Amino acid sequence: MKFSWNKSKKPKLVLAPMSGYTDSAYRQFIKSIEPKTVLVTEFLSADAIYYKSKKTLEMIQFDKSEHPIICQIFGKKIEQFVQAAKVVEDLGYDGVDINMGCPARKVIRSDHGSALVKIENQGKALEIVEAMSKAVKIPVSVKTRLGWNNAGGLLDFAKLLESAGCKCLMVHGRTTQEQYTGKADYEPIYKVKEELEIPVLGNGDVCSAQDAKDKLGNLDGLLVGRGTWGNPWVMKDIQNYFDTGEVLKTELSMIEKIPDIQEHAKLMVKVKGEERGVMEMRKYLLMYVKGFPGAKEMRKDLVMVKTMRDVERVLGKLLPRLRRG
Ligand SMILES: Cc1cc2nc3c(=O)[nH]c(=O)nc-3n(C[C@H](O)[C@H](O)[C@H](O)COP(=O)(O)O)c2cc1C
């Protein structure tokens, strides 16, 4: 069935795009935990897609289990955005999202990412949305921030994005200048929702079903990013809250987590091959054991794993300790 932001059931739970983290393996893993999650790729360069960069064409691959899946692209040239959107559509994605939120210096210095929300670049941003919306049938969405250094212009910009053809607006409740500091402010996002017809999703600092309850307000859904690190099971709690209104907190023991962690590692190996998959799994393994008694001494084993057998051996070493505990 064709995906539509507007027609699908709300509130929507979305895995926030995180470069270096939300690769196909992580997305498949999150989906196996909470099948209703809408997935978004890491941001991919429109230029790199346009010029058929080997690495990007590898990163853009996804598994059929990932639907609905949105491909997020960043760039600054209209033609590249349009051609990249066509590639995204041909690959079978359910939507294409424009990154207008990345605050990384090297990205904004070249007028990519969040630089598009600067008042002098907003005209270009609208042209990009309009041109992409005309070029593809899949919905074009925008993920952005409150504004460059304050939220004063958000509502006007949001209205213009909507009239340019944007089908869903996702807003991280911080400004570009704030990067990741302070707390996400949802108030300006609620105000935008009051005035727009298209779905408006909020994002920032959702780490539990209770956070989702506190932050959802009048919004059509939430994106969850860092809250899934070491705790992907939170997606189940949040979706359960959306479905039932009940606030639960899944408390899994380490023993209960191990089969899921192994599953994540297996997906990494399936998607990236054993050498790269296990190497890249190290950072997640550290997240899974964070806060666990003895995590510090385990670190040195975890950062050395090279094969799937190593992963199983290190996790296996935990079991006697867990059974005693
Ligand atoms: C490591 C990292 C990488 C990120 N990469 C992207 C990205 O590729 N595209 C994007 O729109 N946002 C990106 N973000 C921002 C997140 O999508 C999200 O807006 C932000 O982390 C706030 O949500 P959270 O508190 O749920 O993590 C990234 C954030 C982090 C921490």
pLDDT in tens, 60-97: 999 999 999 999 999 999 999 999 999 999 999 999 99
Q: What is the CATH number of the domain that holds 282?
A: 1.10.1200
Share of the chain above pLDDT 90, in %: 82
203 is a domain residue: yes
Number of domains in the chain: 2
pTM assigned to the model: 0.96
Q: 141 with 19, same domain?
A: yes
Q: How far is the CA of 17 from the centre of ligand 1 (A)?
A: 6
- Token look-up 């999703």 returns 201
Ligand 1, atom 22, lies closest to the CA of 204
Residue 202 has pLDDT above 90, yes or no: yes
Tell me if 6 is assigned to some domain.
no
What is the rounded average pLDDT of the residues 287-301?
A: 84
Q: Are residues 65 and 143 in the same domain?
A: yes
**Do 264 and 201 belong together in one domain?**
no
Q: Which residues line ligand 1 (CB under 6 A)?
A: 16-21, 42-43, 72, 99, 101-102, 143, 172, 203-206, 224-227
**Residue 224 Cα: closest atom of ligand 1:** 26
Asked if residue 301 lies in contact with residue 314, where contact means CB atoms within 8 angstroms, the answer is: yes
Q: Does residue 140 fall inside a structural domain?
A: yes
Choice from 13, 19, 99, 117 to test ligand 1 binding pocket (greatest atom count within 8 A of CB)? 19
- Measure the CA–CA gap between 127 and 133, rounded to whole angstroms: 10
Do 230 and 258 fall into the same domain?
no
Answer whether residue 2 is part of any domain.
no
The residue from 102, 166, 168, 207 that is catalytic is: 102
- Ligand 1 centroid – CA 209 distance (Å): 19
Diameter of the chain measured on Cα atoms: 63
Average pLDDT, the chain: 94
In a domain, 201, yes or no: yes
- Reduce the DSSP state of residue 38 to 3 states and report it: strand
Pick from 220, 244, 268: which residue ends a domain? 244
Same domain? 167 vs 284: no
With respect to residue 3, please indicate whether it lies within any of the assigned structural domains: no
Which ligand 1 atom is at minimum distance from the Cα of 143?
11
In this structure, the answer to whether residues 174 and 280 fall within a common structural domain is: no
Domain edge (last residue) among 244, 276, 294:
244
Question: In which residue are the tokens 């959802």 written?
Answer: 216
Residue closest via CA to ligand 1's atom 10 equals 17
Q: What is the CATH number of the domain that holds 214?
A: 3.20.20.70
Residue 182 has pLDDT above 90, yes or no: yes
The ligand 1 atom at the shortest distance from the C-alpha of residue 16 is 17
Shared domain for 167 and 293, answered yes or no, is: no
Mutate to test the pocket of ligand 1, among 13, 14, 15, 18 (most ligand atoms within 8 A of CB): 18
Does residue 1 fall inside a structural domain? no
Residue 271 has pLDDT above 90, yes or no: yes
C-alpha 225 – ligand 1 centre gap (Å): 6
The length of the chain is: 325
Note whether 185 and 316 are same-domain residues: no
Residue with CA closest to ligand 1 atom 1: 18
Return the CA Rg of the chain: 20
φ/ψ of residue 53, rounded to 5? -60, 135
Judge if 268 and 191 occupy the same domain: no
| Ligand 1 centroid distance, CA of 309 (Å) | 32
> Is 71 in the active site?
no
* Atom 23, ligand 1: residue with shortest CA distance: 204
Residues 145 and 48 grouped into a single domain: yes
Q: Which domain holds residue 267?
A: 254-324
- Do residue 160 and residue 283 come from a single domain? no
CA of 224 to the centre of ligand 1 (A): 9
Model confidence at 124, pLDDT cuts 50, 70, 90, reads very high
Residue 202: C-alpha distances to residues 14, 36, 67, 156 (Å): 10, 17, 21, 17
pLDDT band at 232 (very low <50, low <70, confident <90, very high): very high
What number is the average pLDDT over the span 270-277?
97
Q: Which of 125, 127, 130, 12 is nearest to 70 (CA)?
A: 12
Q: Is residue 107 part of a domain?
A: yes
- For ligand 1, mutation pick of 144, 172, 183, 189 (most atoms within 8 Å of CB): 172
Domain stop point among 221, 244, 267: 244
- In terms of domains, do 239 and 261 share one? no
